Amino acid sequence: MLTNERRQVGRAVPRIEGPLKATGRAAYAAEHSEPGLLHGAAVPATIARGRILEIDSRAAKVAFPGIVAIYTHENRPDAAWLDRSWQDDTAPPGHTYRPLQNDRVLFDGQPVAFVVADSFENARDAAALIKVIYERDVPETDLSAKLAERYEPPKKRNGISPPPEPRGKPEQAFDEAHVTISADYFIENEHHNPMELFATTVLYGEDGSLTVYDKTQGSQNAQKFVCNVFSLKQDKVTVINAYVGGAFGSGLRPRHQLFLAVMASLDLKRSVRFEMSRRDMFYLSYRPAMHQTVSLAADAEGRLTAVMHDTVQATSRYEDYQEVVVNWSGLAYRCDNVKLTYGLAKLDAATPGDMRAPGAASGLFALESAMDELSYAAGLDPLELRRRNFVHFDQNENKQLTSKALRACYREGAARFGWERRKPAPRAMREGHELIGWGMATGIWEAQLQSAKARVRLSANGQVIVQAAASDIGTGTYTILAQIAAEALDVLVEEVSVQIGQSDLPETSVEGGSWTAASSGSAVDAACLAIRQRLLDLAQKDKASPLKEATVEEVVIRGGHLRLDVDPKASVAISELMARAGETAIEEEGEVGPDAKQMKKFASYTHSACFVEVRVDEELGLVRVTRVVSAVAAGRILNPKTARSQILGGVVMGLGMSLHEESMIDHRSGRIMNHNLAEYHVPAHADIHDIDVHFVQEFDNKASPIGVKGLGEIGICGVAAAVANAIFHATGIRIRHLPITIDKILAGDKTPTDRAA
C-alpha cells in the first residue's frame, strides 16, 4: 500500500508536463536535430501481393543531387538473420516483417525503397520519382471471403490467453432454452492514427554510439530491437521517448521507421531522421476486421443457460497475430454452459496490432449487442438482465476476483444517466425529427501488473528525482509518478522531477495494457519505502534515537522529518540523518512484479457500465450521440483529472469505432483507399457532446501494491455496443456491422451496402 495516505495521491493535479506541451516546448521524436541531419522517405508498395521486378531510381537521382543514398532490397545493409532477433517483447508468433529484405511484397504500402537526402523535401520528392515495376499476384484482403480457411493459431502469442475449454453442455442448453438469440457481428479494419507521425531521429555520435529519438511505447523494447537486429552493444544505443504524441498500441512494436533510420545512420555514419507521412501510417498497424457469432440462451428469469461466442479475425500471411476476443464472454456473466472459439484467417495485409483494448473492444461489441438482443427477447430491461447474471468470480479460470464493483457501476451510472426513466419499447421516445434511444453495455478489461523498476533520489534539501524507463503517451504517467513520490516523501508535487522515457533508466516494460500506473507506480512506491528504510537504518545507528525501536511500518516521512506515525515528537530531521552519514542525498531502487502465488488464486479486472443516448434522424440516417455516462471501477484513482481524461479518450475512440472508423479496402487491388485523415474519419469536436465520467469507489489490495488497476483501455470497452443498443432502442433497427454509418441506418435491417468491390 501507499506509504503515506496524505495529500498528493488522489488529488486532481494538473499534468506536470502540461505547460511544456501547451507552449510547444515538449520535443517529440522528429523534433530533435543537429547540423547536417539527413532526412529519409519511404517508397510504399502500390500492390498488396507480388514481387518487385525492377526499381528504377535514375530519374530521382538526376532530379535531386541532394540524394545521399537509396536503399532497396538489392543493396540493403546486412541485418540479423534469425527471426528471434527481430521479435520484440510484444511480437506475435511468426516471421517478423523485415524492411527491404527481399523482392516479395506482403502488403499494400510496404516500404520497397528508402531514400536519404539532405532535406525533408528532397527525400520526399525524390522518393516520388522512384519507379517500381511489380509482378502482381491476386491479393486476398476480404475477410468475409476467407472465413472457410480459418485456423487455430498453432503457437500462442505471449500474454494472450487462448479461449478456455468449453464447459457444461452449451449446445444442448441452447436447444432446450426458454429464450435464445444468435447473430453475426462484423467490424472492419480501424487505424490508430495517433496525431503524431511515426518518426525516428538518430543522432550519430563520434564514437559510433546512437542516440535514438523514437516514437515508441517502450524505449527499452526499441533499444533491444535495435541492438539485436544490428548486433550492437547495449551501451552504444540509447533510445529516448520522453514525449509520445499518442500511440494507442501502434507504438508497442518497433516500427519500420526505427529500422530504416538506424540502418541508414549506421551505413552512412551520419545522423538521420525518418518521419513517416500520414499515408505511411495506414500500412503499420490496425485493429483487425472480425466476423463474430454470438449465441445466447436464458431461462424464464433471464438467467443465462448458454453462451457461445465464435470469432474469425484477420491476420497477415506472415504472423499469427492474436487478441483476447471471445474469453470475455465466458467471464462477464454467470453461465455454466459456455463454448468460446477463436480462429484466424490469413490476408494479404500487414500484421494487425494492438489498438486500445485489443480484443475486448471488438469482442464486447458482439457480446454486449447480443445481451441487448436477448433482453428484448426475454422481455427484460437490458440493465436488469445484466444484474441478474452478475458473477463474482472468473468462471473461465475458476479464480476469485481481487475486486469487482460492477454493481456499483450499474447503480451509480444508471442514476446519473436517469436510466429509470427509460421507456422499454423501441421507438418510444422522440423529439422533432429525431428518435431518442438509450442503450448500455458492460465493459471489462484485465488489470495487470508487469515487472517494473524505479529509482528515487531524495536530496537533503527536499528535492526528489524519480527515474524509470516508463513512457507517457498522454496517459499521465509523469504526473502520477510525481504524486506517488511526493506523497511517500511528503514533498510538493512541484518538488519532484520525473525522468522517464529513456532506455538507460530503470527497467520497465512497454507502456500498454493499462498496466503502467499500477506497475511503475508501485515501483516508485517501493523505492520510496526503501528510502524510508535507509533513513531508519541511519537513525538507528544513533543509540539514543527516539526511533530506536521502530520498524519501517511504524515510521512516516513528514515535513522533512522521519518520525513515528503515532507520535510526532519521536522525530529526526532527514537533513541531519544525511549529514551524519556524510550524504547529500539518498537513492534507492524499487521493484515490483506479478505475484505468482496470488495469481493462482485471483484474477483481476477493471469494470465499467457505459450508458449512451443517441438521437437518430431516421429519415436521413443520421446518428448523434448526445449523452454518455461511463461509470468505472478501477481500484484506486491516483489523479481524478488525468484519470477522467483517460476514460474520455476511450469513450471518444469508442464513438469513432461505433460511427465513423473504417479503413476502406479495394479488394481488387488489396489497397486501402482512404489512407488519409480527410477520408478516414475520426471524431471531430462537433461529434462529441459532454461525457460524464464517474469513478465508483473500489478498494483493492491485491490488484497491485498501490491498489491501482489501470484506465487506458476500460473507457472504450462496451462503447460500440452501447451505441448500437441505443440505436436499436431509438429506431428498432439492429445494426451488427460497424461503423454504423448513414447507409446502414437507411438500409434498416437489410444487409448493409457492401462498400468495396
Q: Which residues are known catalytic residues? A: 713
| Contact pick of 235, 690, 699, 751 for other proteins (by CB under 8 A) | 690
Q: What is the footprint of other proteins within residues 30-69 (CB under 8 A)?
A: 30-31, 33, 46, 63-65
- DSSP 8-state secondary structure symbol assigned to residue 707: S
Single-letter amino acid code for the residue at 477 = T
Which residues, 6 or more positions from 210, have their beta carbon under 8 angstroms from its beta carbon? 202, 203, 204, 226, 232, 236, 237, 238, 262, 265, 266
Question: Would you call 678 exposed, middle or buried from its count of C-beta atoms within 10 A (0-12, 13-18, 19+)?
Answer: exposed
Of the candidate spans 21-29, 328-336, 533-541, 550-558, the one that interacts with other proteins by CB under 8 A turns out to be: 21-29
Measure the CA–CA gap between 606 and 658, rounded to whole angstroms.
22
Length of the chain measured in residues: 757
Q: Residue 573 interacts with other proteins (CB under 8 A)?
A: no
Of 125 and 171, nearer to other proteins (C-beta) is 125
CB 666 to other proteins: min, Å: 4
Q: Of 142, 275, 373, 490, which one interacts with other proteins (CB under 8 A)?
A: 275
Residue 651 binds other proteins, judged by CB under 8 A: yes
Residue whose CB is less far from other proteins, 247 or 266: 247
Contacts of 726 (CB under 8 A, 6+ apart): 437, 438, 439, 612, 613, 614, 625
Binding to other proteins, residues 122-141 (CB under 8 A): 124-125, 128
CB of 472 to other proteins, least distance (A): 8
Task: Find the binder of other proteins among 392, 433, 541, 601 (CB under 8 A).
Answer: 433
Q: Residue 27, interface with other proteins (CB under 8 A)?
A: yes
Site string for other proteins, 468-507 (x = CB under 8 A): -----xxxx-------------------------------
To other proteins, the closest distance from the beta carbon of 365 in angstroms equals: 18
Positions in 652-671 near other proteins (CB under 8 A) = 652-653, 659-660, 664-666, 668-669, 671
* Contact call for residue 277 and other proteins (CB under 8 A): yes
Interface size with other proteins, residues (CB under 8 A)? 103
Contact criterion met (CB below 8 Å) for 646 and 711 = yes
Within 344-373, the residues that bind other proteins by CB under 8 A are none
Q: Which residues contact 542 (CB under 8 A, 6 or more apart)?
A: 548, 580
Question: Binding mask 192-211 vs other proteins (x if CB under 8 A, - otherwise)?
Answer: xxxxxx--------------
Tell me if 742 contacts other proteins by CB under 8 A: yes
DSSP 354-389: --SSTTHHHHHHHHHHHHHHHHHHHT--HHHHHHHT
Q: Which of residues 618-637 bind other proteins (CB under 8 A)?
A: 619-622, 624
**Sole window of 13-21, 48-56, 222-230, 297-305 interacting with other proteins (rule: CB under 8 A):** 13-21
| One residue of 26, 179, 552, 573 binding other proteins per CB under 8 A | 26
Contact window for other proteins (CB under 8 A) among 319-327, 382-390, 396-404, 430-438: 430-438
The DSSP 8-state label assigned to residue 193 in this structure reads -
Amino acid sitting at position 217: Q
Contact (CB, 8 A) for 40 and 114: yes
Which three cell numbers, joined as nine digits, stand for 504? 538507460
DSSP states along 515-578: -HHHHHHHHHHHHHHHHHHHHHHHHHTSTT-TTTT--GGGEEEETTEEEESS-TTSEEEHHHHH
Which residues have CB under 8 Å from 78's CB, separation 6+? none
Nearer to other proteins, 282 or 438 (CB): 282
* 460 binds other proteins per the rule CB under 8 A: no
